[in-house]
Structure 1
Amino acid sequence: MNRRVFRLALPGVAVLLAGWSLLAMPGQPALAQQPATEATTPEAAVVKVCAGCHGMQLVTDTPRDYDAWHDTVQKMIDRGARGTPEEFDLVMDYLFQNMTPIDVNHADAETLMAVLHTSQTAADAIVARRTSRPFKDLAELEKAIPGLDKTLLDAKKRMIFFQ
């Protein structure tokens, strides 16, 4: 290689090496290597996984039972929804706990706890009371069972049924 070519190539090689050294610096991963922030709460997972494709009103306007939500989330995955398995589990937790209708007179204690966000004691009291006399409405439920969050029940009243 003659000196002229070497002198012209040297700055290019220096720039290339400097770029590589920046990419290889510890503690400074390249942008392409940085992992996306993983959602760690059900609410954050719903926003990250669902709201990227559609508005949240679609979710809140369409209450479904657990199996229907499972099918819906699977369709989202099939259509390209992105998230980790843990994030999809959080999405299902959110949908089950917040967007699932519940029949207070027939749901098991575990479902009552999850959907009504109540304690084991309150859920057991609901099951025991409805055995002798089913609840007629939300007002009767609130009156008969101490410890229920009335604000939460009022917010979810369109999804609480008594059959």
Structure 2
Amino acid sequence: MSALHTKWNQLTSKLNPVYLKFTGAGIGVALCLVAISVTAEPKPADPPAAVMAAYQQDEHPEFPAGPGRDVTLRVCSRCHSPNNIVSRPQNREGWEATIAKMVDMGATASDEDFAAILDYVSKNFPAPGTGGGAAATAHVNANKATAADLAKALSLTDKEAAAIVDYRTKNGDFKTIDDLKKVPDVDGKKIDDKKDIIDF
């Protein structure tokens, strides 16, 4: 019996490493498959831009779509509810004064952003009966207006308006919109946006 027991122990001692080797390999393969299944799981895609735009529109339906809408909501919502804008319609001069007041109180944005905000609120939230405010339809003469008048009428920065006056002084009167757009450091898109009220 002892001899048989000894042979059995010898046999199992030889088989155990083989068993453990294959068992370990099997566990390793299983772990790899689990890891692959976890890492291969697709990441949820970001919502399409069109979906986000629709959501933002639905969030504030009282703000009509158009140039300046997004920047108006972004900048003005930092300090107060957008409903403040809807509830206080004004002409363009009134909105200019309101924006200046907001800047004094700490509102921050680029000159281009503030110009876009002014255009947007003046167009979409005018004083009752003005159809956009008196200044919204007032014409400006590119060859006679002061820098301040150009900045106000064309929604330009002070630097852009001064550049127009300086260019006009050095090169003579403008004759066309294209002439006006040749002025260095002036955003041509702003000129195009206001071309209907520019006289020469």
TMscore range, shorter length:
0.3 to 0.5
Q: What is the TM-score of this pair, normalised by structure 1?
A: 0.43
Greater relative contact order, per chain length (Cα 8 Å cut-off, separation 6+): 1
TM-score (norm 2): 0.36
